[in-house]
Amino acid sequence: MEQQTETYAERPGDFRKWIAAITIAAAFPATAVEIDGQIDPQEWQGAQQFTDFRKVQPLNGEPASVPTQVWVLATADGLAVAFRNVQPPSVPRTQQRVQRDFDEQVDRVNVMVDFDGDHRTGYAFTVSSTGGIYDAIITNETEFNEDWDGNWRHEVGEDEAGWTVEVLIPWHIAPMRETTSETRTLRIYLDRVVGVTGERAAWPSASFERPRFLSDFAPIEVTSYSQSLLALTPYVSGLYDNVEYHTEGDAGIDVFWKPNGQMQLTGTLNPDFGQVESDDLVVNFDATETFISDKRPFFTENQGIFEFTTPSDFSQLLYTRRVGGPADDGVGSGDIIAALKLNGSIGATKYGIFGADEADSVGRTFSAVRLVRDFSTQNLGMMLTRVERPYYDRIATVAGIDHNWRPTSRWNVRTRLIGSDIDDDGQSVRDGGATIWADYEMDHGWRQQWIGMHFGDELQINDAGYLQRNSTNYVHWQVQRRFADLPEESRYASKDWRWRVSTSRNNHGDLLRDQFRMSRESRLRDGSYEYAQININSAGADDLLTRGNGNINLPPNFNSFFEYERPRKGSWGFAVEAEVYSGGLEGNDEIGYSLMLEPTYFISDAFNVYVGVFGSRTPDWLVWQEDNLIGSFDGREVDFNAGFNWIISPRQELRLKLQAIGINAPLNRAYRVDSSGDAIETDEPVDDFTVSNLGFQIRYRYELAPLSYLYIVYGRGGYAQESVADDSGRPLRDSFSLRDDEQLLVKLNYRFEW
């Protein structure tokens, strides 16, 4: 893509001075770039300049409403990027402080880099106007994983006319393909978001709202540099258990070694993977497992090479939460002895090797190998995983081939082939699956999408990976229309309508569901976000509810959902979600509903408090009991979610998070499912039940140095289920008295670099 420098007819005088200063500086000798938030023209001489920023939210390609100037310069220390953001008083600046990996609607800039330029993996670096940062790995064109934390430098400055950002991204932050040339071709994307309106302007004019994002990054040529790095991060921790009344200590170390640009080794010995992060509470009575993302540093460090996903929600061949997950004997979690990860490239081929070993006879051994080869308009890769589970006398091997094809700028086609070979107690079972996903970008905001999936009855990838269900044959066609040129008087900046028809059957020919979906995603001119969706479902069979004891026939049903998020205005921000749905054996004769409201009050720019409530009623909630026996319950749930976030200083934060769930489920009636799939009412005893669940954590974190922290964490939680029913809301109140776990943890880790 050709670099462009835009001339603004009404550019403020200070902005013209910045450009002139940089131009004059080219006549002086080069000096090192000091990352201090103050753009010194002498330091940035010879840098590539970009000013032609175009609106991508709304996605209309119009010139940005406020000027932005960016300089990009390759130095021996890393890729340096500077932003000069003009922001006159008529465009208020957001002053809210944010935590790392924030998602608040604030003034910010983004630098995204594909170091190899092969459209496989990108790295996102975000800096807010108050110095907060976000970093993520981008895979599969548009998927961001913010659980990764990198070590990079950044500083912010401001004056009356605007604000500035300087960023330095070390070359050792990612493995890069070897080059014998004095220059290297990277692909980059730069953007700026105006917090008060939500407007996003970018160079080049690429958008993650399109099927192709990584592929639309702009190529730039920079001087080729290489860095080596050895980093050791030892940790020590002490834990006091106030339920069992005992104290325990632990220690371990993480190792990061990058001897050159083409190879990167990450290892960990006796890792401490718990307590400092808290997952959201989940109460799940469904037959499918809940997916939980991995925040553990070893597993997020340059994990992008191992991404192998399918269109099935959250599916992947290597789901790292399996490592150190519930032990095979059902007692506690797996005790990880060590884990190792090797990433690199040989010529145009990238590779990844992963291994992890758990202790004792119930421990598992995980291994994975990944290869990827890039061509001009396509990528081809393969992946192999293997899990040894001696407790079950089971060895699970899964192989996959993935192909991404971009024949033109309008098309993006992704194909996956998967096969599993399971040796279980001497018996071998093999099966396979295949998926295809095609997106086509048309003119005037129109797009189309086709998805097809087939997973065999005996396809099993969940020893190392994640797949919601096998025995699937699914097809959908979707057409979309984006409206990004709405009148100025409209409260909406853009609207994106989608219409989808789909059908799903299992491998025995049973219709699971035909569905029509209509949705609209909208962005408002005040920075708010809106989403609405309705699904109309045909009659079909549920082949999972009875856990292999027969299908159950279900009547037609529907569900509709609405979400609204308003960013901070003054001292308040809030989010609302509402849903109306039918289902169960009653179908559309019984209507359920849910409502969530979570306001946030900002005591200051650094301190906010939130309180959220959620309530739902599912009048015909089907819950499996045993064999082919199910119960229909009048399910009522009330959740309470509260906490605060205090950014004490750029290095210190204090966070409190409280979640409490109360579920009351009196029985409507019990059923046996007969051989034809009909539910036959029975007098067999099925108990009412209640559930109480609590999760509480208060965490102090102090950043000693990059990726070096002191944590002090107090946590408490519990789960209780009783065979009674109570309409008074007692399950929620009872959750606050739960005390299955109560712990105080102190952890210190420090990263040493050479």
Residue 199 confidence (pLDDT): 96
For residue 351, give the nearest of 376, 380, 320, 373 by alpha carbon.
Answer: 373
In angstroms, rounded to a whole number, what is the distance separating the alpha carbons of residues 636 and 690?
9
Could you report the per-residue pLDDT of 279-305, keeping only the tens digit for each?
788 899 999 999 988 888 888 887 889
Residue 303 confidence (pLDDT): 83
Provide, rounded to the nearest whole percent, the portion of the chain with pLDDT above 90.
82
Looking at residues 372-378, what average pLDDT do you find?
A: 88
Looking at residues 721-726, what average pLDDT do you find?
A: 87
Looking at residues 449-470, what average pLDDT do you find?
A: 97
Residue 308 confidence (pLDDT): 94
Residue 20 has pLDDT above 80, yes or no: no
In angstroms, rounded to a whole number, what is the distance separating the alpha carbons of residues 571 and 148?
31
Q: Residue 275 — very low, low, confident or very high, per pLDDT cuts 50/70/90?
A: low
Counts of helices then strands in the chain (DSSP H, E):
3, 42
Mean pLDDT of the chain: 92
Residue 11 confidence (pLDDT): 44
Residue 728 has pLDDT above 90, yes or no: no
Which helix (DSSP H) or strand (DSSP E) does residue 17 occupy? helix 13-25
For residue 170, give the nearest of 37, 281, 261, 66 by alpha carbon.
Answer: 261
The b/e string for 99-135 (b: 16+ C-beta within 10 A; e otherwise) is bebbebbbbbbbbbbbbbbbbbbbbbbbbbbbebbbb
Looking at residues 713-728, what average pLDDT do you find?
A: 89
Which of the 8 DSSP states describes residue 305?
G
CATH number for the segment(s) 13-225: 2.60.40.1190
Could you report the per-residue pLDDT of 442-456, keeping only the tens digit for each?
999 999 999 999 999
Q: Where are the domains of the chain?
A: 13-225, 545-748
What residues have CB less than 8 Å from 634, skipping those under 6 apart? 617, 618, 619, 620, 621, 665, 666, 668
For residue 48, give the nearest of 155, 145, 152, 190 by alpha carbon.
Answer: 190
Could you report the per-residue pLDDT of 40-65, keeping only the tens digit for each?
999 999 999 999 999 999 999 999 99
Own/partner contacts of 678-686, CB < 8 Å, gap of 24 or more, are: 678/553, 679/552, 679/553, 679/585, 679/630, 682/629, 684/629, 686/625, 686/629, 686/631
Three-state DSSP state, 721: strand
Question: Facing residues of 99 across strands?
Answer: none
Residue 359 confidence (pLDDT): 92
Contact criterion met (CB below 8 Å) for 689 and 655: no
Q: What is the pTM of this model?
A: 0.89
